[in-house]
Amino acid sequence: MNTRYLRYLTLVWLTLVTAGLLKPAQAQTPKRVVSGVVRDASGPLAEATIVEKGMPANATTSAANGEFHLTLKGSSSTIIITHVSFAAQEIKVRDLHVLVRVLLKPEEKGLEEATVVGFGNTKQRGTETGAVSSINAKEIQDVPTSSVQNALAGEVAGFVAVQRSGQPGRDASDFYIRGVSSLNPAANQPLILVDDIEYTYDQLMQINVQEIETITLLKDASSTAIYGIKGASGVMLVTTKRGIAGRPHFDIRVEGGEQSPVITPKFLSAYPAAILTNEALTNDGLKPQFTDADLAAFKAKNDPYGHPDVNWYKAIMRPLTQQANTDLDISGGTSHVKYFINAGAFTQNGTIRNFSTNTDGVDNNYFYNRYTLRSNLDIQASRNLSLRLDATTRYMDINQPYGQNVINDIYNYNDYHPFSAPFLNPNGSFAYAYDTQNEMPTLNAYLSTMGYTRDRRTDFNVLAGFTEKLGDITPGLQFTGRLGYASQQENVLTLWRGFDNPPSYHYNPYNKSYTLNTGPNGGGYVLGSWMTQAGTDIDNQRVNAQLFFNYDRVFNAAHHVNALLLWNEDNFRDDIGSIFHFPLGVPAKYTGYSLKLGYDYKQKYMADFNMGYNGSSRFQGGHQFGFFPAAGLGWNIAKENFWVPLENTISLFKLRASYGIVGSDVALGNQYLYAQTYNQGNGYSFGQSPQDGGTISEGPLGNNNVTWQKSRKYDIGLDFNMFKGKLTSTTDYFHEHVYNQLVVPANLPLILGVGVSPTNVGITQNLGWEETINYHDRIGQVTYSLGIVFTHNHNRILYEAEAYPAFPWLAVTGHQINQPFGYIFQGYYSAADVADPKVAKPNTATAVHPGDLKYKDLNGDGVIDQNDIKPISNPNVPNTTIGTPIKIGYKNFDLSVLFQGAFDYGFFLYGVAIEPFQSQWQPIHLKRWTPETAASAQFPRLTTNPTTVNSPAVYASNYWWINAYYIRLKNLDLNYNIPKKDLPLRLRSARIYLTAYNLLTWSNVKKKYQQDPEVQSNTVGDAYLNQKVIQLGIQVGL
Amino acid sequence: MKKFIIIIVITAAVSGCQKQYESQPLGQQVSIDYAFDTKDSAGSLALQFLNTCYQQALPNGHNRVGGDYLDAASDDAVSSQVTISKVQQIATGAYSAATPNGDDIWARNYAAIRDCNVFIGDIYRVPLAEKLPNGQPAIAAYRSEARFLRAWLYFELVKRYGGVPLLGDTVFTITQNVQVPRNSFADCINYIVSECNNIKDSLRTVAMITGTTYGRITKGAAMALKAEALMLAASPLYNGGNIDGTDPLTGYPSYDATRWQTAAQAAQDVINLGVYSLMPNFKNIFTTQAQPVGANTESIFWVQNGANNSVEKSNSPIGFSSAGAQGNTSVTQNLVDAFPTDSGYAITDSGVGYDPNNPYENRDPRLLATVFCNGTSFWLNRAIQTYDGGADKPGGSVVQTKTGYYMRKFMGPWETAQGTTQFGNTYHDYIYFRYAGILLDYAEATNEFSGPSTDVYNVLFQLRQRAGIFPGANGYYGLPMNMDQATMRAAIQNEKRIEMAFEEKRYWDIRRWKIAASVYNSAPLQGMDIVQPGNGLLSYNRVPVLTTSFKDPQMYLYPIPYSEVVKNPQMKQNPGW
């Protein structure tokens, strides 16, 4: 759909809206006014909504004294009284002259809790046949993190999240529903729908959690089949808050907190570092770098310029950083127009000390600022027609130092040592790492002078829709249309000083001379003038249109039928990319029809049939449209007659099962894989003065038969409620057979001469189980709720067209997706091993020494080489996650605590994270192998050589790969609700709360690596340190 | 119901979008019409496709194999690298079908052959208007260039693997059967030769080359490739020395002397072109652009490399670290010993003026043009110090020479460069075929077919004269008179070794001559340990530096990559692998 259509549609849309609004008023009927009073246990209740049954437009709200008057217009003579925090009540008005007295009771969760399942549909816990879990955003609204996916970890079964970085604005977790199940990495991302419009990961992380009403995960085939070709990796549904009729409510939150790294890395000071440096050099038969006099000077710390000892981490980083969040909600409305308006501002600063001391005042610290605005409007245009208009925009700034990965520089031994340079020279000039190859000016010199890179992004979303009740045709039928538009634009602004390095000097304290750093390649270092550069790096638009019929009716008070018939179309364009770059500017178009049929008999027997028939432009004609059917069956045994004796103990006991097929059209790089592409590159040069001629070459061969990946999913579940809903439990066992996965076949002969596009050959399976248990009760005045949220999954590659491995243990088939491979540690080489020619040795030019890591010679050829690796440890995404939401309430205090843990995953870092002479000297290096400590060593012999058998980068092994786990005190939320009677002025409510995120962490990763256990494994571990946050907030309602 | 009508209108409007699936995804360059545009009379995109063929087919031989010269995998040099280099793995026989050696080009060459075939098949779609200086359409020359590159790619494959699958003009599609068998060695040679014959007259001649077409394949290159292919075919490894009995995949079933005659004739044809001649100065061959744009009359076929200092940086002695020198190539004593004295006598001959205590004096000038020797060679105004503890051999774990020598060949004239500690840029085209090589081919083939005639002697005289060796009273440049065929063979082999060191010749010649087993397995490669005692007099000690190993006979051919044999049941593995 192009813009022409968009404009056309908008026109039609406006016509429709106008037509609806101008519709003549209903004919007058004799006035029938019902009056009453609403109260709760503590007294009269204001702002309850009173609606006439069957006439949603006819509503009013109770006054401060609880009183209301409503003119009945329909024929039902029934009113429904609702209030945000109470259970709805329905009252049949028998006599208009009698005052109706309504006592509202607190809403009881459990049996009747409704879950949003998409496109205006909800499902009751008692009748759901699919695997769906849901959370009210209230549960996570206080978590002091900027992105909603961080706040969800451990709260919802089936949600697996890993937070790879703590950088302000880039700290959103990667997440998966039921783990990883596809060989195609892009296909593992769930479909994210906000108010039924697709969002990207990036867009989701920017949503202000205060805008959100509920979040629902759809996990099995039955619940995701209507999303068909996009449903294979699960669906996350987010619904935003909407206005409730009544006088305007203002809700103001102001929060502020301190952050600090979850792990503060410790590095050895100059004296032990110099000793270890000398030891490694001696081990290699080289001359020690430091004399005894040097060592004495380092120990005495009395020569800060001749023998500097700088802890660069402490010198550059500050222990505490700040974040703050302000949020304003306004909601309310009349029976005709309801509104919810939210404005939020979030700011978070970074971990670098303030070095912008010079006059230019350039702020190059990390920071993140986000401003969000949402307005959700509901208009009851006529008796049957309601309209909605949601508009939201988000603006953010992410700042970081120009050209500098600060954590990497601090960890990187080749950049700076503790004894490389003083923080500043005595005359205040910058020093440089005089004793390194690169002779880089100190980190503070760069940070003081070199500018920043700033990403500035604007997101804009608008959703317009209408719902027409078609009771005229048949009761329970309604028709909805929606048009959504979303755009994202990001601009990168760089403020920098060209390619120059800041001037820096080596100070010689003995003759008090200063030498200007000329760098390893000569040439003077001068401070260049400021330059700016800007460019667009994200620019995309999405248009989504939906039309659907909903039908929901109960026949004879027994047969409940519901149905959805949906037409849906989505257009996505990404306009970045040029012929000189990997083309990103590829449109993606999606269209489809979905049908959902549900039936239950007295909530005892239930059946659902769901299907999607939808297509994607990523495939060629004939392969574009797929049919994705799924069915679910449920049986609530607790409704059977024979259950009556048990009914008081177990009020729900429902078995359910679902089976179906869903798909994924995701292609790596968003490409059209059927198309034969041609790449451009730098070329061969001809001519006397050779001129680069440029090249054009064939890209991977197009695959005409490319089509979607399919998942065949089973899910068996048991839901029960016991002790009057105090104990609720949901258990699911699932099995996914994922086939037709797009993988590049590795079994084609090379004489084909060209790469090929992925083909639909990969097969994996993923199975596991989930458990959500909650028990809530009260002891005297203490209410409490204890929960366990457990997710376990395990995947396995069944086929991926791998080339035949030289040895059976090298095969990836049969193992997990992204299974790490490595050598098997067998202790340290002893002197006898080194001398014994029968003991296998690695294939390097450097002979092994006692204290080197000894690995198993799997193929017995006497050489440790690439053929001696086998599967070790687990992939990096946890297979098991657990969360324990705990809530305790006492009088006006509420405490909620979430412990969250992840198990069964692999963790490994190399290079600047841990290797000597690449990383700074760390405490673990003190536990190195020496002849004296051979028995207790936790680190191999020290060597300067980066390619020995001791290097984790060259010889990844189970010595370095940890079978990791962590347990975190993830969220803590202590609330004090100020009693109504104590509220000053006309405040409706007020509370003060103390919250924390990542407060405590226990992990076995700490034993080896000084990084957060959630950062990306198999890297040098230089991610911005993940942060813990403690925050104080106050919320006031007016 | 009015609203319903409106709704239906919307439905219809939105449904209209359905037909708008992109017929071609935007932003991706798709279909053959993109590269081979039927309206592009300049053919600029099609010629960029040909650039891909050049780029893929002509790897830069400088430090090509894992940062080292391929010759560092022969007995001429070892890698200075601290870790096990790819060339060391080759020299010590540490490779197999499953873990191929660093010179395994199977995948790269078949990819390049495919590129050539695409170009050969589709170039006629382009209405190229360009004409050659002789008025002929240039399109035929471009197509012939691609055919030349394809023949060259096969030649490189055959050297390594014996007979390989010949694909003709086939461009495989994804659904086609790619499981094709190998062709015989004879088929491959015949194919290369017939391609060269067919294309030579449509290629540009040297005279037609201009400042902008410099670097394109010429007629001379095609004729030289034919000569080289025929030399390979006539060589002992294939001609009578088939390592697998009579298997046609690994050579000819029996010896045939006329193969030498054919090869000699092919070399003679190149000589008879009259286009090429020896350069007066040996060093300048490698830093001068070829005729007609440059003065290099010797270059026949090379890979364009432009002007840079990467060879100097990669291979200069490590003491010049401020100039970026990395000292990658450690020349062996074995190669140094192969250079005769400046009178042309072998240093093992007695009474020829060779002084073991002053071993680099009075030697064939090509020695110092090829090797940096301690004290005698100068570089950036300083004498080379490869004695123990010297600036260029400091000891410890840093990369440095393992033999007491570094490679000098190919570098610019930075011996006496005044006022600089940096290397400027020099032309570094890497020459695959040069006239001296064709002369040596001619001499070798003629000697094998008809014995050491005057023509054969003349080739050696020409090369030695150019090298700067004194002709001697008899004008024989130190060569014995009246050599028999075997002695002459050894003389030619040694001359080729020193004349063409590091030009990727020795490594293949010892295989082709079937002497690799004795070269690699006889004794460890040697270096020179030079000690400077207190009295300032240097002492020279030959020391072993690397024990090489060669599995005879299977290492005469590379293994076909293991995965290739597994994926294709028709693909027969080479013997012994």
The answer, yes or no, to whether residue A920 has pLDDT greater than 70, is yes
**Most confident residue range from A511-525, A568-582, B324-338:** B324-338
The answer, yes or no, to whether residue A99 has pLDDT greater than 50, is yes
A314-323, A495-504, A865-874, B219-228: the lowest-pLDDT one: A495-504
Interface of A with B in 487-546 (CB under 8 A): 521-522, 545
3-state class percentages of chain B: helix first, strand second, coil last, to nearest 5:
40, 10, 50
pLDDT category at B16 given cuts 50, 70, 90 is very low
What does the angle CA B222 – CA B225 – CA B229 come to, to the nearest 5 degrees?
140
The answer, yes or no, to whether residue A357 has pLDDT greater than 50, is yes
Q: Chain A residue with minimal CA distance to B2?
A: A19
Provide the pLDDT for residue A42.
Answer: 65
Q: What is the mean pLDDT of residues A234-254?
A: 90
Of all residues in chain B, the percent with pLDDT exceeding 70 is 94
A812: exposed, middle or buried (Cβ count in 10 Å: 0-12, 13-18, 19+): middle
Provide the pLDDT for residue A28.
Answer: 47
CA nearest to A196, candidates A474, A564, A505, A535: A564
The answer, yes or no, to whether residue B444 has pLDDT greater than 70, is yes
Which tokens belong to B124? 């006629």
Are A686 and B52 an interchain contact pair (Cβ–Cβ within 8 Å)? Answer: no
Higher pLDDT, B10 or A104: A104
A170-184, B134-148, B182-196: the lowest-pLDDT one: A170-184
Q: Chain B residue with minimal CA distance to A582?
A: B28
A96-105, A570-579, A668-677: the lowest-pLDDT one: A570-579
Provide the pLDDT for residue A11.
Answer: 52
The answer, yes or no, to whether residue A41 has pLDDT greater than 80, is no
Provide the pLDDT for residue A22.
Answer: 43
Say if strands A605-616 and A625-636 run parallel, antiparallel, or are unpaired.
Answer: antiparallel
Provide the pLDDT for residue A670.
Answer: 63
Q: Write the pLDDT tens digit of every residue in A276-285.
A: 999 998 888 7
A40-49, A728-737, A811-820, B566-575: the lowest-pLDDT one: A40-49
Q: Chain A residue with minimal CA distance to B50?
A: A695
H or E, element range at B518: helix B516-521
Q: Chain A residue with minimal CA distance to B157?
A: A751
- The closest CB to that of A695, out of B28, B55, B81, belongs to B55
Identify whether the C-beta of residue B166 lies closer than 8 Å to the C-beta of residue B113. Answer: no
Are A678 and B29 an interchain contact pair (Cβ–Cβ within 8 Å)? Answer: yes
Q: What is the mean pLDDT of residues B385-410?
A: 90
The answer, yes or no, to whether residue B484 has pLDDT greater than 70, is yes
Which tokens belong to B66? 């894992």
Give the number of beta-carbon pairs within 8 Å between A and B.
Answer: 236
Interface of A with B in 635-694 (CB under 8 A): 671-672, 675-681, 683-690, 693-694
The answer, yes or no, to whether residue A24 has pLDDT greater than 50, is no
Are B17 and A695 an interchain contact pair (Cβ–Cβ within 8 Å)? Answer: no
pLDDT category at A689 given cuts 50, 70, 90 is confident
Angle between helices B435-450 and B219-234 (to 10 degrees): 40
The answer, yes or no, to whether residue A13 has pLDDT greater than 70, is no
Interface of A with B in 277-306 (CB under 8 A): 284-287
Does B1 lie at the interface with A, CB-CB under 8 angstroms? no
Say if strands A100-103 and A32-40 run parallel, antiparallel, or are unpaired.
Answer: parallel
pLDDT category at A116 given cuts 50, 70, 90 is confident
H or E, element range at A7: helix A3-21
Q: What is the mean pLDDT of residues A579-605?
A: 77
Q: Write the pLDDT tens digit of every residue in A962-979.
A: 999 999 999 999 999 988
Q: Write the pLDDT tens digit of every residue in B254-283.
A: 999 999 999 999 999 999 999 999 999 999
Are A684 and B52 an interchain contact pair (Cβ–Cβ within 8 Å)? Answer: yes
Dihedral sign of CA atoms A80, A389, A328, A235 in order: positive
pLDDT category at A17 given cuts 50, 70, 90 is very low
Rounded CA-CA distance A20/B7 in Å is: 12
Identify whether the C-beta of residue B440 lies closer than 8 Å to the C-beta of residue B493. Answer: no
pLDDT category at A5 given cuts 50, 70, 90 is low
The answer, yes or no, to whether residue A1 has pLDDT greater than 60, is no
Q: What is the mean pLDDT of residues A481-486?
A: 93
Provide the pLDDT for residue A434.
Answer: 82
Q: What is the mean pLDDT of residues A386-399?
A: 94
Identify whether the C-beta of residue B374 lies closer than 8 Å to the C-beta of residue B516. Answer: no
Q: What is the mean pLDDT of residues A88-95?
A: 80
Q: Bridge-partner residues for B543, per DSSP?
A: B527
Provide the pLDDT for residue A690.
Answer: 83
Which tokens belong to A173? 């977790």
CA distance readout (Å), A239 to A154, A411, B442 = 20, 43, 84
A112-121, A486-495, A649-658, B315-324: the lowest-pLDDT one: A112-121
Residues of chain A found within 8 Å of residue B174, distances taken between Cβ atoms: 701-704, 756
Provide the pLDDT for residue A585.
Answer: 59
CA distance readout (Å), A758 to A184, A674, A701, A743, B25 = 9, 10, 9, 5, 17
Q: Write the pLDDT tens digit of every residue in B206-239.
A: 999 999 999 999 999 999 999 999 999 999 999 9
DSSP code string of A102-125 = EE--BPPPSTT-EEEEETTEEEET
Residues of chain A found within 8 Å of residue B307, distances taken between Cβ atoms: 690
**Most confident residue range from A427-436, A554-563, B472-481:** B472-481
Provide the pLDDT for residue A449.
Answer: 83
Q: How far B145 CA lies from chain A's nearest CA (Å)?
A: 13
Q: How far B562 CA lies from chain A's nearest CA (Å)?
A: 8
pLDDT category at A185 given cuts 50, 70, 90 is confident
Mean pLDDT across chain A: 86
Say if strands A759-779 and A695-698 run parallel, antiparallel, or are unpaired.
Answer: unpaired
Q: Chain B residue with minimal CA distance to A545?
A: B14
| Residue type (1 letter), A380 | Q
Q: Write the pLDDT tens digit of every residue in A807-865.
A: 899 999 999 999 999 999 999 999 999 999 889 988 765 678 999 999 999 988 888 88
**Most confident residue range from A427-441, A969-983, B445-459:** B445-459
Say if strands B371-372 and B406-407 run parallel, antiparallel, or are unpaired.
Answer: antiparallel
Q: What is the mean pLDDT of residues A909-934?
A: 92
Where are the extended beta strands (E) located within A421-558? 452-469, 477-496, 505-508, 513-516, 531-555
Identify whether the C-beta of residue A276 lies closer than 8 Å to the C-beta of residue A921. Answer: yes
The answer, yes or no, to whether residue B3 has pLDDT greater than 90, is no
The answer, yes or no, to whether residue A678 has pLDDT greater than 70, is yes
Q: What is the mean pLDDT of residues A399-411?
A: 89
Provide the pLDDT for residue B18.
Answer: 45
Residues near B490 by beta carbon (within 8 Å), at least 6 away in sequence: none
Provide the pLDDT for residue A51.
Answer: 84
Q: Which long-range contacts (CB under 8 A, 24 or more apart) does B160-165 make?
A: B160/B103, B160/B104, B160/B105, B160/B557, B160/B558, B161/B106, B161/B557, B161/B558, B161/B560, B161/B574, B162/B249, B162/B250, B162/B251, B162/B557, B162/B574, B163/B187, B163/B188, B163/B248, B163/B249, B163/B250, B164/B188, B165/A751, B165/B571
Provide the pLDDT for residue B408.
Answer: 96
Rounded CA-CA distance B370/B529 in Å is: 19
B169: exposed, middle or buried (Cβ count in 10 Å: 0-12, 13-18, 19+): exposed
Q: What is the mean pLDDT of residues A625-651?
A: 90
Rounded CA-CA distance A938/A961 in Å is: 14
Higher pLDDT, A265 or B21: A265
The answer, yes or no, to whether residue B11 has pLDDT greater than 90, is no
pLDDT category at A85 given cuts 50, 70, 90 is low
Provide the pLDDT for residue B323.
Answer: 85
Provide the pLDDT for residue A572.
Answer: 85
Are A583 and B562 an interchain contact pair (Cβ–Cβ within 8 Å)? Answer: no
Q: Write the pLDDT tens digit of every residue in B27-84.
A: 455 567 778 888 889 888 899 999 999 999 999 999 999 999 999 999 999 999 877 7
Q: How far A695 CA lies from chain B's nearest CA (Å)?
A: 4
Q: Chain B residue with minimal CA distance to A468?
A: B3
pLDDT category at A576 given cuts 50, 70, 90 is low
Q: Write the pLDDT tens digit of every residue in B197-208.
A: 999 999 999 999
Q: Write the pLDDT tens digit of every residue in A735-779.
A: 999 999 988 888 888 999 888 888 889 999 999 999 999 999 989
Higher pLDDT, A518 or A572: A572
Rounded CA-CA distance A665/A628 in Å is: 13
